[in-house]
Amino acid sequence: MPTYLSNPVFLRLYVAQTISLFGDALTWLGLALLAFELAGTDAPIVLAGALTLRVTAFTLLSPFAGVIADRFDRKPILIITHLGRMLLVCLLPFVNSIWQIYALVLGLNIFNAFFAPTYQATIPLITGETDYPQAIALSSTTYQILGVFGPGIAGVLALFIGARDLFFWDGASFIIAAILIASLPGNLRTNTGESGKKVESIRSDIQVGTITLWTDAPIRYGLMMQLVASIAGAQILVNTVGYVRGTLQLTAVEYGWVMMGFGLGATLGTIAIGIYPQYRSKIITLVSGGAIVSISLIGANYIGLIPLILLWSIAGFGQSLVNLSMQTLIADRIPTNIQGRVYGAHFAWSHLWWAGAYPLAGWLGTTFPDRTFLYGSLIGLALLSIVHLLLAPDRFTHTHPEYSHTHTHAHDFPHQHEHQTNLESEDRLPESTLARTTHQHPHLHSRLKHTHTYTDISHQHSDSH
């Protein structure tokens, strides 16, 4: 930790994210209380609708957000998304009907859809190649910890200041985070020349993110493992309350303990990835995480409170192995200049999995209430087996999708041609010296695994991957 926490740019960005995440905890607890105040026993329906709007905003807008993150300075994007959320949460105390909740939640998550992939793509940019796995792990760990303890802190605040006034504290947290980001030195731009591109090319850039996800074999494998993990995760989030309150006949306090176990397990998973970021095979990490979270459900319909807390902790651990390995995998394999697009596409696809997993969990919970976790586990394990057999790459060699870069090479005497110097003030070298000079030429890679052949006379690059 000390290496990247000594980086003042990352430290300020991390503190801003931590404050923002605490604000999110205030938002969702305040929304739950507000929904109960307005809808009474129909509050779960209101919250389910809000969650659906959240996933919809992420799925539709995150790829576009990734394109924006790659074209423009990311610092203004991060500031604007914080200020936009601040304005909207400060309107929530004045809500007096359900449709207003839906409208404001949709607006909040439109801004969040732009913030999340931009933030994810910025971490590798500012921390460097050796530190970003631990930096990503720390960020994810903080997310998990605040997910566990943030609502409890928010609940204590609500006792003293009231549910509606929570949103004003939430707005203050976004302002503080925006100020911290504004204090970052310089800019967070990757491609200074791309901001002037025509609007028509945005569609092509959005496609780059999705195509990269699905054409890079290890990333495609990780994305499908996230589908496996989402099936099990949706079972836990949707059906645990019915099992604890209905089958076990326990109170909301015990339900909170069970879900805290899931969050603590997820926190331990992110810490493990942070401690061992260079684990010898991410294939093993991904498939192990998918197997752990799926197997944890298999006997959950037949146990009591304490074993359930333990199983949910194990499931949370497996969930983090999959999700965090996928984030670091993208940073490992994708060039910095297109990471925003890829993180944006990944954010959309991973939330699309949850959009399908939630209805499946709801159907299993109502159709097979006494075997819902068992069937969810079997579906997850079957899908995991198919994914691993069909999509697991042989090994994680250094590969990358199509993009233009340069190779340094040297010419012998028969190979002489004009070269453009990169320094305007530099005089052209003599031909005899130039013939032996090492220099660079840009060319396009279209597939994987590098083998290069060069034709001296015509100076053409033939790349097979």
Tell me the C-alpha distance between 380 and 296, whole Å: 11
In a domain, 340, yes or no: yes
The DSSP 8-state label assigned to residue 450 in this structure reads -
Q: What percent of the chain has pLDDT over 90?
A: 20
In a domain, 171, yes or no: yes
Supply the Cα-derived Rg of the chain in whole angstroms: 25
Residues 186 and 222 in one domain: no
User: What does the pLDDT read at residue 203?
Assistant: 65
Q: What is the mean pLDDT of residues 342-361?
A: 82
State the average pLDDT for the chain.
75
For residue 276, what pLDDT band results from cuts at 50, 70 and 90? low
Residues 182 and 287 in one domain: no
Give residue-wise pLDDT tens across range 309-323.
999 999 999 998 898
pLDDT at 465 over 70: no
User: What does the pLDDT read at residue 156?
Assistant: 73
User: What does the pLDDT read at residue 163?
Assistant: 74
pLDDT at 430 over 80: no
CB burial of residue 319 (10 Å; 0-12, 13-18, 19+):
buried
In a domain, 216, yes or no: yes
Q: Tokens 């003042």, residue?
A: 8
For residue 41, what pLDDT band results from cuts at 50, 70 and 90? low
List the CATH number of the domain containing 145.
1.20.1250.20
Residues 327 and 364 in one domain: yes
Higher pLDDT, 322 or 454: 322
Residues 325 and 235 in one domain: yes
User: What does the pLDDT read at residue 426?
Assistant: 39
The tally of domains found in the chain comes to: 2
In a domain, 373, yes or no: yes
Range of the domain at 374: 209-392
User: What does the pLDDT read at residue 339?
Assistant: 75
User: What does the pLDDT read at residue 459?
Assistant: 38
DSSP letter for each residue of 237-252 = HHHHHHIIIIIS---H
User: What does the pLDDT read at residue 84?
Assistant: 93
Residues 257 and 108 in one domain: no
In a domain, 58, yes or no: yes
In a domain, 67, yes or no: yes
Residues 137 and 231 in one domain: no
pLDDT at 265 over 50: yes
Cβ proximity of 270 and 320 under 8 Å = yes
Higher pLDDT, 366 or 82: 82
For residue 175, what pLDDT band results from cuts at 50, 70 and 90? very high
In a domain, 344, yes or no: yes
Give residue-wise pLDDT tens across range 176-222.
999 998 888 766 665 544 444 554 565 676 678 788 889 888 899 99
Tell me the C-alpha distance between 410 and 297, whole Å: 59
Q: What is the mean pLDDT of residues 360-373?
A: 85
Q: Which helix (H) or strand (E) holds 445?
A: strand 438-445
Cβ proximity of 380 and 290 under 8 Å = yes
Domain termination residue (choose one: 392, 420, 436): 392
CA dihedral sign, ordered 281, 282, 288, 291: negative
Residues 103 and 235 in one domain: no
Residues 292 and 355 in one domain: yes
Give residue-wise pLDDT tens across range 115-134.
887 887 788 777 766 677 77
Residues 179 and 218 in one domain: no
CB atoms near residue 383 (< 10 Å): 17
Higher pLDDT, 237 or 371: 371
For residue 461, what pLDDT band results from cuts at 50, 70 and 90? very low
Phi, psi of 421 (to 5 degrees): -75, 150
- Of the spans 52-56, 152-156, 221-225, which averages the highest pLDDT? 221-225
In a domain, 321, yes or no: yes
For residue 148, what pLDDT band results from cuts at 50, 70 and 90? low
Residues 177 and 248 in one domain: no
pLDDT at 275 over 80: no
CB atoms near residue 113 (< 10 Å): 26
Higher pLDDT, 43 or 104: 104
Residues 369 and 260 in one domain: yes
Tell me the C-alpha distance between 6 and 10, whole Å: 8
Tell me the C-alpha distance between 117 and 88, whole Å: 20
Q: Three-class SS of residue 408?
A: strand
Give the tokens for residue 121: 């793509």
Domain termination residue (choose one: 326, 359, 392): 392
Q: What is the mean pLDDT of residues 292-316?
A: 93
Q: Tokens 């423009």, residue?
A: 72
CB burial of residue 380 (10 Å; 0-12, 13-18, 19+):
buried
pTM score, two decimals?
0.62
User: What does the pLDDT read at residue 186?
Assistant: 67
pLDDT at 95 over 50: yes
Give residue-wise pLDDT tens across range 328-343.
888 788 887 777 778 7
Could you tell me where the DSSP H helices lie in 296-416? Answer: 305-333, 339-367, 372-391
CB atoms near residue 457 (< 10 Å): 8
Residues 233 and 288 in one domain: yes
